Structure 1
Amino acid sequence: MTITNNNSTNVSIGEKDNYPGRAYFVRHGESTSNERNIFAGVLDVDLTSFGRLQARRAGVDIKKKGVKFDAVYVSHMRRARQTCEIALAESQALKSPDIPIQIDHRISEKSFGIFAGRNLNLLRLALGYEGFEEMLHSYNEAPPAGEKIAQVYTRAASFYEERIVPHLKRGETVLVVCHQYVLEPLALYLSDLPPTAYQHLKLPNGKALSGEELVKFRDKESGGAASVRKQINDLSIMWAILLYAAAFLLGCLVRTLSASGAGIPSELFRGIIVACLAASTFYTYLDIDFAASKRKVTPTVKYIVYGSMLVRWIVGLVLILTGILYQSPGDLYKVMWVLFWMVPPALTSPVLSVLWGGNLYPSALLSRMLSIIAPVALIATFTLAKQLPINSSSLQFFFVILIVGLAIPGAIAQFWRGKSPVESNHHSKNWKFIGVLAVAFMALATGFQFTPSTFLSDLFFSTDTTRSLACLQQLALATLVFVLIRVFAVLTSVFSKGLLNKAEIRDAYILLVNPNFFLWAALFLGVSATANPEAVKYAIFWASLGFFCVPLIEQILFMNSFSNELLRETLRSSRMATEDVRKLFHQLDTDGSNALDKEEIMELLGRIEDMTTGERSSEEIRRYVTDYLFATLDSDKNGTVNLAELEDYVSTYGLVANLNVVSANASSVAV
């Protein structure tokens, strides 16, 4: 198959008629940025292995439709080209093997400007839901250095009229493989609607839709129920951490106001925890490709996380086995806090990674591995420390959690991903809030179960000195342990700089500060023989409070740091106006020809980077961007680009050079 470029930029939006031909549209398969919940835009990212499976299913879909294509158009971006090649190889749907796959930059993804490469959830928190929707999904607003929907609408309509309509008039069948933020405005255009009617849809990856099906999908997804569901989904994910903390505190409040001494029956409570974890795991694992995760976790991050956990275990074992802490049953709470330091990361760590801009794969893989290894190590520890009044059989509950709450729903989710990659992915995008609400309900039940019914009086109105002292004592110890865990994690992050990328450092932090509370609590739920039951009870309460509420404080800190970084980037990008491009152009145009050759464009890109990021990318990356610009703008193939062409491109697509630097770094990490 040969690939050619068509880059005409004339806009000719005419009245649409019913033509004898038909066009089919495919959104590319899942990319590495989709999986990690970050904006890609003009970043040139690859498909994941799941995305390749979706691309093959697009080919199967095309084959079932029984169509053969007279022409194929595709975005220049790798994720679209890979999808196109895989789908055509699967479907064998070209009428002739000599038909070229034609690239047109007008159907490349919307430029998100400085938002490219950034976490969607942190952006929503930083901008607010309304601000985020206005900047990203309003037809006439755009991120700094990014594109407006109206601009994408114009270029997509131009492409359709100039490239697709002539084929349709001749009764031919055409395939277009591109991106979500191109197909959505195009669906408007095909519906004879203006860009002012734009609404963000959740187009499925890797599904072949005819023009009529695309319009029907837009009508269905922009309707009342679908629109409400989308908003609920977005808001629940955006406020997930706040929702968990609020649900836990609500459970605490209900317990103290009701003065219920018994709490939830033990078996019922365990059933709630397992069921909620199962629902959360199912929706989390619908978005994680565990088969490919091992290849995406670098040895360095494994060594750092495993090494850090090993240090914590050595310290904990010394304190427990030497008898320094435990002299009598009344000292059990001391051992409890040491074990809290030792337990593995929570199974919900991948959720925090997605919400806070981590690399996802380390959180998913390492939390699972450590959760399997740690209980066995704990049993060995209790066998050696026979004097501890801990019944290791209480770990049976945690093994139930691992099997019913993790293994089974995870296996079902992974099976569905493999069996129906398009449908499972679309379901996840629309119904992920079920997993969020399941964790919130778990937090509510935990808050109710572990809050002492006398908590308010013990804390504020001392009626029993023993309980009040236990309450305050365990609060002090909980604060100390939570602070020490985070100091240890921060020091690990500091020493890891240069060894891990920023996203991996975030994952390492999450894994080290997020102990598995339910594994830890399972060790002490059956403990009754202790001389200090109030201390044990309050230790569990304060640990559960910290588990559900401290992440909210961390998220606020992450969000503030993210907002400041975004502000600095906005200021940097604002310095690089079209006027600056013009000045640099004239500085390099020493012969006064009003045109620059490739070497001069490469130098211009370097100077743009000097003025914005302050750091030049490698010559290889700048040459790649230069070649792309020439393929896009040098329509007469004379080896030069004039000022008008360059100004128009930069004003539309932003600082492509800087964005592709990020793309190259992201690609190297994924490999």
Structure 2
Amino acid sequence: MCWNALDNEPGVVRFTMTLIRHGQTINNLLQKIQGQKSDASLNWKGQVQALTIARHLNDQKFTHVYCSDTQRATQTCEIILKENERNGNLKTDGILHYYIDKRLRERYMGVLEGKPIADLKKLAKQSNHHQKLFTPDDGESPEEVARRIDSFFKFLCVEMCRESKFSEGSNRHKHALIVSHSGLLRSFLTLLGQKYGCNLPHDILDVSCKNTSRTVIEVKLTFLDDNREFLHDMSDEMFHDESVDRVAKSFENHCRFQVEASCIMLFNFDHLKFV
């Protein structure tokens, strides 16, 4: 059984996810498709945006930080953490670490990588598809993106539960900062809505995810059976030596749980008024 002393509910683990899109790049400014290969760094405005959201989040206590491996995402993440460190929100070793996860990359757009967004709109229209659902040649389909972000979400649930088994008597709230990309975050939210019942706008694909906008999701995992023995058998060696997908699958097979996800804030960028 998992527990969280903060809410004192046996068999329940709660955590918060704060999702941040990276700051602006020159490709954003030129309205080009960045995907995975066109890995531009933050431009001047993007750095200011990242610093502004960092200051907006300076009172947050993040216990877990995950980031896409692109320059634009890691730069945004590092600016946020640097400002957060300055305000004293540190882990016990004095450093708030973050973890790179390739599953948080933007959707791969194949032959359209680096091309104008207008080209995507044109091809999508010709094929009678919504541009967010259209898959260009050699590109990654929406279903493939959904599978990898679902894999990440299951991994995150595993991590939160592993910590919970050691935290009986602790009141530390678990809060994950996730820095990624507009397409990936939109896919994540769509997954949470369609698979896990999170209450989201039905037109989520049409909602604009601005640079450094913030979305906050509250997650509640309710375990339906006693999983304490399995969780204690999940040693650190297993977690680090096995592939994360295998660990997540093993966890899913042994632990039956329900996911409740509540959207607290969707694509909020009020902090940009300070720019």
- Normalized against structure 1, the TM-score is what? 0.28
**Residue correspondences, number:** 203
Question: Which of 75, 79, 84 is the matching residue for 1:91?
Answer: 84
Aligned mate of 1:36, from 30, 34, 40: 30
The answer to whether 1:127 aligns with 2:120 is: no
Residue 75 of structure 1 pairs with residue 77 of structure 2: no
Secondary structure in 2 matching 1:56: helix
Q: Does 1:204 align with 2:252?
A: no
SS in 2 for 1:19: strand
Task: State the partner residue of 1:105.
Answer: 102
Q: Is the 8 A contact 1:108 1:179 kept in 2?
A: yes
Partners of 2:182 and 2:156 lie apart in 1 by 19
- Of 147, 160, 163, the residue aligned with 1:167 is 160
Structure 1 match to 2:245: none
**Alignment check: 8 A CA contact 1:23 1:164 kept:** no
Task: Tell whether the 8 Å contact from 1:187 to 1:215 is kept in structure 2 after alignment.
Answer: no
Give the AA of the match of 2:98: I
1:188/1:197 contact within 8 Å kept? no
Q: 1:61 to 1:151 in 2, by over 3 A?
A: same
After TM superposition, the structure 1 = structure 2 runs for residues 457-536 of structure 1, keeping only pairs within 5 Å, are none
* 1:122 positional shift: 4.1
Aligned counterparts, 1:42-61, within 5 A: 42=36, 43-61=38-56
Percentage identity across paired residues of the two chains = 24
Whole-Å separation in 1 of the counterparts to 2:192 and 2:12:
11
Matched, 1:20 2:14: yes
CA 1:82–1:164 in structure 2 vs 1: closer, same or farther (change >3 Å)?
farther
Larger helix share, 1 or 2? 1
Offset from partner CA, 1:141-172 (integer Å, 9 cap, x none): 41111111111111111101112553277342
Counterpart among 186, 189, 192 of residue 187 in structure 1: 189
When Rg is computed on C-alpha atoms for both structures, the one with the higher figure is 1
Superposed CA deviations along residues 53-99 of structure 1, whole A, max 9, x for unmatched, are 11111111212xx3211221100000000000011112224434334
Q: Report what 2:222 is aligned to.
A: none
2:132 alignment counterpart = 137
How many angstroms apart in 1 are the aligned matches of 2:160 and 2:116?
Answer: 40
Q: In structure 1, how many angstroms separate the alpha carbons of the residues matched to 2:262 and 2:14?
A: 18
In terms of fraction of residues, the more strand-rich structure is 2
Q: Which residue in 1 is equivalent to 2:272?
A: 422
Length-normalised TM-score, structure 2: 0.64
What does the per-residue CA deviation read over 1:477-499, in whole Å, with 9 as the maximum and x for residues that have no partner?
xxxxxxxxxxxxxxxxxxxxxxx
Change in 2 beyond 3 A, CA 1:132/1:19:
farther
SS in structure 2 at match of 1:121: helix
Map 1:543-554 → 2, pairs under 5 A: none
Looking at structure 2, the residues matched to 48 and 31 of structure 1 have their Cα atoms a distance apart, in angstroms, of 5
- 2: CA distance, partners of 1:34 / 1:208: 18
Segments of 5+ residues of structure 2 without an aligned counterpart are: 1-10, 165-172, 197-201, 219-260
Map 1:325-336; keep pairs closer than 5 Å. Answer: none
What secondary structure sits across from 2:14 in the alignment?
A: coil
Displacement of 1:217 after TM fit? 5.6
Unaligned runs of 5+ in 1: 1-16, 222-419, 426-671
Taking the aligned partners of 2:207 and 2:12, their CA distance within structure 1 comes to 25
Q: Distance in 2 between matches of 1:19 and 1:146?
A: 37
- Equivalent residues of 1:152, 1:182 under 8 A apart: yes
Looking at structure 2, the residues matched to 146 and 163 of structure 1 have their Cα atoms a distance apart, in angstroms, of: 26
**Counterpart of 2:145 in 1: which secondary structure?**
helix
Q: How far apart, in 2, do the equivalents of 1:423 and 1:132 lie? A: 38
What is the RMSD of the two structures over their aligned residues, measured on CA atoms?
3.2
Structure with more relative contact order (C-alpha pairs < 8 Å, separation 6 or more) = 2
CA contact (8 A) 1:57 1:207 kept: no
User: In the TM superposition, what whole-angstrom CA distance separates every residue of 1:204-244 from its partner, at most 9, and x where no partner exists?
Assistant: 221333215983666x99xxxxxxxxxxxxxxxxxxxxxxx
